A and B are shown apart, each in its own frame.
Chain A
Amino acid sequence: MIQAEMVEATEFPELSMLYNVSGVPQTTINAGKAHVVGAVPEPNLLAEIQRILAE
């Protein structure tokens, strides 16, 4: 149900542009539904995932 992928931004420029990647690391959730920039503490990431799933 859940997949986590490291994406090397310079090799995938269209995807990086699509998700407005400027600062890394950027964690993009569900193909652009949400983004978190920087190192994310686990509870924060969990909260973001829960938030967008509830929408």
Chain B
Amino acid sequence: MSELLHLEVNGEPAACKADPSTTLLEALRYELGLTGSKQGCDKGDCGACTVLVEGEPTLACITLALAVDGQRVTTVEGLARGPELHPVQDCFDELGAAQCGFCTPGMLVSAYACLEKNPDASVDELKLALSGNLCRCTGYTKIFEACLKAGARLKAERSR
């Protein structure tokens, strides 16, 4: 039943076995050892498993692995620039936007996708972009603050 799944994960080629029923989240977590992406509900409700597939935020727990065969996947482990944190990661850390940290990987991926497209994103635009990522700790306050600060930093980087 198993087939060989080929992906480009965080810029590197990756391959593992996958059944037709294997989800992308299972392939990442249990076959490729990328446990950063989390399983909070296993049915697409909470967003903790959010990864980028070809640059677009995607719920890995309701995406079949073989359906994205050959595609580019970015997980939370792939956001940093080598040893240096991406501004959105750094701002989350600095401003206390990660409490228990369990929604954080998915939240960061959604925030990264939004801010990389538009570092000028307003709070309302951020609210919409993050509306599929449930956080139970922060009331989202510090998350918005971190995203706004990260956006400003990204913008400054680009104007350099």
A and B interact physically:
no
Binding site for B on A (CB under 8 A): none
